[in-house]
Chains A and B, each alone.
Chain A
Amino acid sequence: MEPITAPIIDFTSLAPVLVLSVFAMMVLLVDLFIGRNKSVLVFISLVGLLCAAVSAFAKGTEIPVSSFNGAYIVDRLSIFFTMIFCMSSALAILLAVEYNKREGIRVGEYYSLILFCTVGMIVLASATDLIMIFLGIEIVSICLYVLAGIRRTDPKSNEAALKYFLLGAFATGFLLYGMTLLYGTTGSVKLATIAQLLNSGEVLAQPLMLLGVVLLVIGFGFKVAAVPFHMWAPDVYQGAPTPVTAFMAVGPKAAAFAAFYRLFAEGIPELAPTWQMTLSIVAVFSMFFGNLGAIMQTNIKRLLAFSSVSHVGYILIAVIAKDTLGSASLMFYMLSYAFMIFGIFGIIIILGRKGHENLELEHYSGLGFKHPLLALCMTMFMLSLGGMPPLAGFVAKFYIFQAALNEGFLWLVIIAVLNSAISFYYYLKVIVFMYMKEPIGEFKISLTPITLFVVAVGIIGTLELGIFPGPIIFLAQY
């Protein structure tokens, strides 16, 4: 046996992780000494996220840099995703400020859990080693289990947490078994070494390895809620507090996709024909069942849950088209998806009030007459999710389809376009409710400045990415 060599610790590439961890612990500590007013914690968390976003550039222009014996990498993908994570966590915290006050969630842990979760997401997006990917996924998941159940006295929140926890832990088992088989058949946990070994053809076509790949698809499928592993999503989305739902629809999903992309496109590209086929089937099922499921929903959060399942289908196409354009379109999609989702959930929070969250679609009837501006924003987000030009959703889908066409997946693109058409049915249903039905009661909305700010950010982002996508696509592609 060769002796274990201690890795050279590279603090600058770990900078965002370290900064955020420190701030998250600081939030926990400060929480002990302040009273019931938690606005200090919000401030500290936002400063922490800002510092983390800045420190992501600590490596300057010398990227990509691999450190810790090839277990951790700072490159275009990881920096771009770090930006998405910091932004989405900041928006999730801003959404929660007034919501928590209204619903009586007076816990400071909320903010530190979001920061810890962000740490996990950054680790996940930068990991190039099976152990690191596993750790990242678990840091994210464990924080999310707690966040989903943070309303301890609410049975729905409890139920969401339990379902999420049991199915998440179940998925972890599959993921781990897949990683173990990959390790056992290649003899390495480093993605680069695995790719090298596969390239030299030493381990190809071992049935155990293929079994490992299938198990990995199952594990990741659970984590990103792809059909047929999506059954937890609607319940968890519905039961979790609304800001948490928005958060878990964007950040953790983006992180899981970053790791998904890295593992499959950089670790085992030699097996591409196998996993591209498997993933195509999963993608097609996700799009179909997500859209068909969403058509039947009457609760807006469940509708968005099914819609996010169908979006997972589109994003999987970006993973399948594994070249540079694939990763660039993945980043662009996640960024525009973040703007749309936070905008929508901001409006959902505004429309609720203490004790009445107003989550049924019929509560939205007549919104267009009473609050035209809010209804207009909602309309824009819905159309953007469906993929209507000139909004962000259209451009994002366009790039993904282009990446898939470059790789020769014409049939997949045709199915995806058909599905976009189906999805307009339920996105337009919301719009029909807002503009063409009589209100069923008085609107008692809670127009609060910070939540409105989040909606405004969403609108600006959706328009900006839709009309001038050039600079962002350039950043994503170099």
Chain B
Amino acid sequence: MVPLSHYLILSATLFSIGVLGVLIRRNAIVVFMCVEIMLNAVNISLIAFDRHLNQHDGQIFSFMVMAVAAAEVSVGLAIIIALFRNRPTVNLDEFNLMKW
């Protein structure tokens, strides 16, 4: 039986990787993937807590997170495509029409 803390450390590590990726990478798609890593890191700890507490709330919560993440992906990719049609680039540094 793997103890709870292992899962939490894994989740925290993944979350940090996601945060670092969002802050460091400049490609809109990669930044987007890093956000998804963050959400899935949260899912891991939700399920771990759920198992530890012997409950159902965490599982339901993680389903909701997945559903919302899917909705976000569809909207996010649509936005990136709309943007790419006007200016063929996905580099975040080039989106500076307004003061950042």
A170, CB-defined interface residue at 8 Å: yes
- Chain B proximity of A70: nearest CB distance (Å): 12
In the complex, given contacts A163-B95, A176-B42, what are 12 additional A-B residue pairs having Cβ atoms less than 8 angstroms apart?
Answer: A131-B60, A131-B64, A138-B68, A142-B75, A149-B82, A153-B86, A159-B98, A170-B22, A184-B52, A188-B57, A234-B98, A239-B97
Closest B residue, CB atoms, query A138: B68
- Decide if B61 touches A131 in the complex (CB within 8 Å): yes
Closest B residue, CB atoms, query A158: B83
A389, CB-defined interface residue at 8 Å: no
- Decide if A159 touches B95 in the complex (CB within 8 Å): yes
State whether A238 and B35 are in contact (beta carbons under 8 Å apart), knowing that A146-B75, A177-B42, A183-B46 are contacts in the complex: no
A176 to B49, CA, bound (A): 14
State whether A145 and B100 are in contact (beta carbons under 8 Å apart), knowing that A176-B39, A183-B46 are contacts in the complex: no
Residues of chain B contacted by A135 (CB below 8 angstroms) = 64, 68
Interface of B is mostly: helix
Residues of chain A contacted by B42 (CB below 8 angstroms) = 173, 176-177, 180
Q: Mark A151-162, 1 if CB is under 8 A from B, else 0.
A: 011011011111
Residues of chain A contacted by B97 (CB below 8 angstroms) = 155-156, 159, 239
Q: Mark B36-64, 1 if CB is under 8 A from A, else 0.
A: 00110110011011001111111011001
- Decide if B46 touches A180 in the complex (CB within 8 Å): yes
* Pick from A134, A169, A176, A187: contact of B53, CB under 8 Å: A187
- Chain B proximity of A258: nearest CB distance (Å): 20
A80 to B72, CA, bound (A): 30
A325 to B92, CA, bound (A): 44
State whether A4 and B56 are in contact (beta carbons under 8 Å apart), knowing that A134-B64, A142-B72, A165-B75 are contacts in the complex: yes
- Chain B proximity of A239: nearest CB distance (Å): 6
- Decide if A142 touches B71 in the complex (CB within 8 Å): yes
A307 to B44, CA, bound (A): 39
A1, CB-defined interface residue at 8 Å: yes
Q: Mark A172-189, 1 if CB is under 8 A from B, else 0.
A: 110011011101100111
A235, CB-defined interface residue at 8 Å: yes
- Decide if B98 touches A156 in the complex (CB within 8 Å): yes
Query: In the complex, which residues 231-250 of chain A have their Cβ closer than 8 Å to any Cβ of chain B?
Result: 231, 234-235, 238-239
- Chain A proximity of B30: nearest CB distance (Å): 11
- Chain A proximity of B53: nearest CB distance (Å): 5
- Chain B proximity of A301: nearest CB distance (Å): 10
- Chain A proximity of B39: nearest CB distance (Å): 6
Residues of chain B contacted by A169 (CB below 8 angstroms) = 32, 35, 72, 76
Closest A residue, CB atoms, query B15: A177
Residues of chain A contacted by B22 (CB below 8 angstroms) = 166, 170
Residues of chain B contacted by A160 (CB below 8 angstroms) = 98
Listed from nearest, the 8 A-B pairs whose CB atoms lie closest are: A173-B38, A184-B49, A158-B83, A176-B42, A169-B35, A138-B68, A187-B53, A189-B57
A130, CB-defined interface residue at 8 Å: yes
Residues of chain B contacted by A162 (CB below 8 angstroms) = 28, 79-80, 83, 95
State whether A155 and B49 are in contact (beta carbons under 8 Å apart), knowing that A4-B56, A169-B32, A173-B18 are contacts in the complex: no
- Decide if A173 touches B35 in the complex (CB within 8 Å): yes
- Decide if B83 touches A173 in the complex (CB within 8 Å): no
Residues of chain A contacted by B35 (CB below 8 angstroms) = 166, 169-170, 172-173
Residues of chain A contacted by B61 (CB below 8 angstroms) = 130-131, 134, 179-180, 183, 189
- Decide if A155 touches B86 in the complex (CB within 8 Å): yes
Query: In the complex, which residues 133-152 of chain A have their Cβ closer than 8 Å to any Cβ of chain B?
Result: 134-135, 138, 142, 145-146, 149, 152
Q: Mark B11-42, 1 if CB is under 8 A from A, else 0.
A: 00001001100100000100110010011011
A155 to B72, CA, bound (A): 21
A-B contact pairs, 17 of them (CB 8 A): A134-B65, A145-B76, A152-B82, A156-B97, A159-B83, A161-B83, A166-B28, A169-B32, A169-B72, A170-B35, A170-B38, A173-B38, A177-B38, A180-B46, A180-B58, A181-B45, A189-B57
- Decide if B82 touches A158 in the complex (CB within 8 Å): yes
A289 to B76, CA, bound (A): 30
Residues of chain A contacted by B71 (CB below 8 angstroms) = 138, 142
Residues of chain B contacted by A153 (CB below 8 angstroms) = 86
A5 to B18, CA, bound (A): 36
- Decide if A134 touches B79 in the complex (CB within 8 Å): no
Q: Mark A275-312, 1 if CB is under 8 A from B, else 0.
A: 00000000000000000000000000010000000000
A95 to B35, CA, bound (A): 34
A347 to B82, CA, bound (A): 30
- Decide if A155 touches B58 in the complex (CB within 8 Å): no
Closest A residue, CB atoms, query B65: A176
A154 to B20, CA, bound (A): 31
A138 to B79, CA, bound (A): 16
Residues of chain B contacted by A165 (CB below 8 angstroms) = 75-76, 79
- Chain B proximity of A109: nearest CB distance (Å): 12
A217 to B15, CA, bound (A): 17
